[in-house]
């Protein structure tokens, strides 16, 4: 099966994988992506049987959570992703439990959102399969929207609810039914202690599908787990995208400006550069190094409305204008970490010749060429 996916972000950043709820496509995470892109490459994908990962040969025969989990590992392997952080909601949370138990070495941290070790019972899932098989997705869409969102959210955000409803109605009946079977048959209550990866459990205080009690069970039985309860129903990530994203960042990166700054600084400048800078910290420069990490990297480079790629372009242009050769050379290296191409660097320098002067552009070309040669990059 070919998995439909989207991978965004700068190449030197660690990867964060988002896994969807039943009846959702990878677009369900779109509102969160700008907030986490300063820290991660973001991998979204359609679960087997959903969206672009549906095959016409799909039937009502059940999948298993193990099969859906193996799809994640296969996708990581095909993209050359050795390790990642993972966030799965509802069915995605079940997949996350399977991954954490069977492939703990592939995941740095795991987020299990609005899920349970065992969700529902055979009667409930068999009844749903029968209903949609006979009547289609329309038969359960209104009830689903009510379970997914609080009443106040539905009233105040009719457009967002309408988009989510349309996404749900696009679900392929056979694929949805097969995933229902996977959820029906999944039960991790006796194996959670084998999940050794550091885990955050998220739920909504009004979630009628996977309630706070189920989240507490997960947090209690997973060895290294903590719990966060949000004021939401089942699709907490859609109902509270900014708060949800901040919860992810605090857990996956750190909740201080220094931790966030060090994370971004390492991904942009490289581990070796930052390690060298840290090794040279002394009483004279310690305050300045702390200032750089907290303010430049922790507060400015983490803002979501400019990509790291574009920040690199802007930084290079300003350093040419200011004739800061050492910093320019450092940021040429950083630009490659942020996905900037040789052609783009050339155009920045050409453009700077107009507004910064020929001598500044000439020196920038020589400096950039030094870095290109050092890194053995083909021009």
Structure tokens at 186: 């999944």
pLDDT band of 335, cuts 50, 70, 90: very high
Determine the 3-state secondary structure of 311 from DSSP.
helix
Determine the 3-state secondary structure of 98 from DSSP.
helix
pLDDT at 211: 97
Is residue 168 over pLDDT 80? yes
Is residue 58 over pLDDT 70? no
pLDDT at 1: 79
Backbone φ and ψ for 88, nearest 5 degrees, come out as -125, 140
Is residue 162 over pLDDT 60? yes
Determine the 3-state secondary structure of 372 from DSSP.
helix
Residues 299-310 have pLDDT tens digits of 999 999 999 999
Average pLDDT, the chain: 96
pLDDT at 60: 54
Which residues fall within 8 angstroms of residue 83, CB to CB, at 6 or more apart?
14, 15, 105, 106, 107, 108
Is residue 61 over pLDDT 80? no
Section 134-160 average pLDDT: 97
Q: How far, in Å, are 112, 133, 340, 344 from residue 375 at the CA level?
A: 40, 57, 14, 17
Any long-range contacts for 288-292 (C-beta under 8 Å, 24+ apart)?
Answer: 290/258, 292/261, 292/265
- Domains (range + CATH), the chain: 5-253 (3.40.50.1820), 256-301 (no CATH), 306-378 (1.20.1290.10)
Residues 110-140 have pLDDT tens digits of 999 999 999 999 999 999 999 999 999 999 9
pTM: 0.96
Residues 33-49 have pLDDT tens digits of 999 999 999 999 999 99
CB distance 334 to 268 below 8 Å: yes
Residues 259-280 have pLDDT tens digits of 999 999 999 999 999 999 999 9
pLDDT at 379: 80
Which residues fall within 8 angstroms of residue 208, CB to CB, at 6 or more apart?
147, 233, 234
Section 148-162 average pLDDT: 97
First to last CA, the chain: 37
pLDDT at 57: 63
Percent pLDDT > 70 in the chain is 99
Is residue 289 over pLDDT 70? yes
Is residue 59 over pLDDT 60? no
* Sign of the alpha-carbon torsion through 224, 229, 235, 238: negative
Determine the 3-state secondary structure of 181 from DSSP.
helix
């Amino acid at each position: 099966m070919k998995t439909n996916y989207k991978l965004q972000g700068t190449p030197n950043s660690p990867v964060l994988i988002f896994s969807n709820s039943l009846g959702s496509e990878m677009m369900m995470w779109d509102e969160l992506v700008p907030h986490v892109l300063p820290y991660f490459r973001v991998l979204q994908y359609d679960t087997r049987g959903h969206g672009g990962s549906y095959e016409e040969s799909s039937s009502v025969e059940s999948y298993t959570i193990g099969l859906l989990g193996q799809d994640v590992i296969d996708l990581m392997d095909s993209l050359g992703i050795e390790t990642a952080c993972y966030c799965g909601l509802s069915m995605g949370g079940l997949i996350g439990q399977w991954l954490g138990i069977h492939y703990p070495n592939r995941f740095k941290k795991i987020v299990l959102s609005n899920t349970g070790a065992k969700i529902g019972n055979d009667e409930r899932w068999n009844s749903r399969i029968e209903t949609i098989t006979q009547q289609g997705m329309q038969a359960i869409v209104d009830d689903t929207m009510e379970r997914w969102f609080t009443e106040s959210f539905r009233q105040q955000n009719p457009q967002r609810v309408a988009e989510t409803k349309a996404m749900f109605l696009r679900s392929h009946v056979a694929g949805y039914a097969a995933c229902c079977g996977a959820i029906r048959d999944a039960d991790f209550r006796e194996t959670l202690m084998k999940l050794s990866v550091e885990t955050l459990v998220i739920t909504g205080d009004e979630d009628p599908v996977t309630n706070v009690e189920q989240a507490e069970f997960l947090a209690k039985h997973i060895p290294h787990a903590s719990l966060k309860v949000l004021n939401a129903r089942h699709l907490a990530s859609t109902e509270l995208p900014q708060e949800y994203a901040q919860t992810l960042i605090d857990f996956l990166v750190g909740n201080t400006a220094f931790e966030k700054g060090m994370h971004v600084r390492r991904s942009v400048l490289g581990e070796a550069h930052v390690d060298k800078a840290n090794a040279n910290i002394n009483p004279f420069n310690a305050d300045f190094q702390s200032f750089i990490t907290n303010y430049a990297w922790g507060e400015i480079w983490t803002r979501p409305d400019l990509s790291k790629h574009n920040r690199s372009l802007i930084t290079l242009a300003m350093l040419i204008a200011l004739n800061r050769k050492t910093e320019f050379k450092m940021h040429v290296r950083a630009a490659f970490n942020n996905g900037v191409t040789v052609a783009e660097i050339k155009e920045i320098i050409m453009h700077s010749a107009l507004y910064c002067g020929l001598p500044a552009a000439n020196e920038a070309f020589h400096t950039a060429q030094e870095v290109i040669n050092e890194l053995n990059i083909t021009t």
